[in-house]
Amino acid sequence: MRLFYGFLLSLLAITASFGAKKVVSANTSAGNEQVDVVATLYMTEQEVTQKLGMNPGKGIALLEVRMIPKTDQPVQMSPDDFILLAHDDGERSKPFDPAQLAGQGAMVVTRATDKTKRTSGFGGFGGMVGGGSGSSPGNSKPTTLSSKMDAKSQGNDKLLETLKAKQFPQKESVQPVEGYLYFPLDGKHKLKNMAVLYRGPAGRLDLEFEH
């Protein structure tokens, strides 16, 4: 009998330890009195290509977003309401406009920390990338993203059409709205270190991929 009770206690301890373990998932959600936001993050080139049906190039993260208004009042929605945050190095970025990725011209994104600078090329048109600077809690090396145009790129009309067709729209709605957002993502990051920040007319929400 003592052996049985010992086994039972051990089993309960193991079960409790599993229950306390944080879960990392590509799907996350958050809500308040006005809206629910549901998001799925795709970080690898293969995943992004599969979702789009075309390859937009390296250094792109795709966020699939669904916003669900919870009142009878319309909510103003925009791609610019979202920020992609990497907790591990503090990198923050706003989404690309499709023309910055596939329009005429080229986007060269520069990532600079206190000690290092790296650049990577993106097809597109524009001045500043939808990016900024910031640091995660406990991070002493803030990261800045900026960009400049390279007029040599001729663009990709088919990719541009696809990106526009699937992009999360800018609109006012009382109905659920969904679409894709395209973020610059420099370097290698683990999903557990990623977060999406919603900062829009419906309030402030933090969507973490480690729960």
Domain ranges of the chain: 78-211
Q: Is the pLDDT of residue 140 over 50?
A: no
Average pLDDT, integer, range 135-164: 62
Contact between 97 and 126 under an 8 Å Cβ cutoff? The reply is yes
Residue 137 tokens, joined: 């809690």
Better-predicted residue by pLDDT, 22 or 25: 25
Spatial CA neighbour of 90 closest among 145, 139, 147: 139
pLDDT at 150: 54
Quick check: pTM over 0.75? Answer: no
Q: What is the mean pLDDT of the chain?
A: 78
Distance between CA atoms of residues 63 and 82, nearest Å: 10
Q: How confident is the model at residue 131 (pLDDT cuts 50, 70, 90)?
A: very low
pLDDT at 21: 74
Distance between CA atoms of residues 142 and 210, nearest Å: 22
pLDDT at 114: 42
Q: Is the pLDDT of residue 113 over 70?
A: no
DSSP single-letter state for residue 197 = E
SS (H, E, C) 28-93: EEEECCCEEEEEEEECCHHHHHHHHCCCCCCCEEEEEEEEEECCCCCEEECHHHEEEEECCCCCEE
Average pLDDT, integer, range 94-116: 68
**Between vectors from CA 109 to CA 107 and to CA 111, what angle results, nearest 5°?**
175
Average pLDDT, integer, range 140-166: 69
pLDDT at 105: 58
DSSP single-letter state for residue 178 = E
Of 21-35, 54-68, 111-125, 187-201, the least confident: 111-125
pLDDT at 64: 98
Distance between CA atoms of residues 157 and 192, nearest Å: 35
Average pLDDT, integer, range 90-111: 78
Of 29-38, 40-49, 101-110, the least confident: 101-110
Contact between 170 and 79 under an 8 Å Cβ cutoff? The reply is yes
CA terminus-to-terminus distance, the chain: 39
Q: Is the pLDDT of residue 149 over 50?
A: yes
Residue 179 tokens, joined: 């679409």
Distance between CA atoms of residues 208 and 152, nearest Å: 39
Q: Is the pLDDT of residue 80 over 70?
A: yes
